[in-house]
Structure 1
Amino acid sequence: FQSYHLIDELSVYENIETPMIYKKVKRKEGKEKVEAVFDRFGLT
């Protein structure tokens, strides 16, 4: 089985964004990447 390592207390957006914060991705670029993931999977 796969382990997703999601943080229950965070939203879906925050769980996607968190690794980018640690990688020091600029906030604007991170937001664009999170939105691209949302679009890809039909999330709002």
Structure 2
Amino acid sequence: MFTQVHKTFMIESYLRNGREVEGEWQYFVSDCLEEFRNEFPNL
């Protein structure tokens, strides 16, 4: 089960990893998950 800290990290990571491509913002869940796994390796 994810704590509030985990959930907050996921949202912040998702937004932090957004990229602007031809005037549109794109968000990649895979980048977010990789960052999450690096931050919380024991989950």
Higher relative contact order (CA 8 A, sep 6+): 2
The TM tier, using the shorter chain, reads 0.3 to 0.5
- Bigger Rg, structure 1 or 2: 2
After TM superposition, the score normalised by the length of structure 1 is 0.46
Which is richer in strand? 2
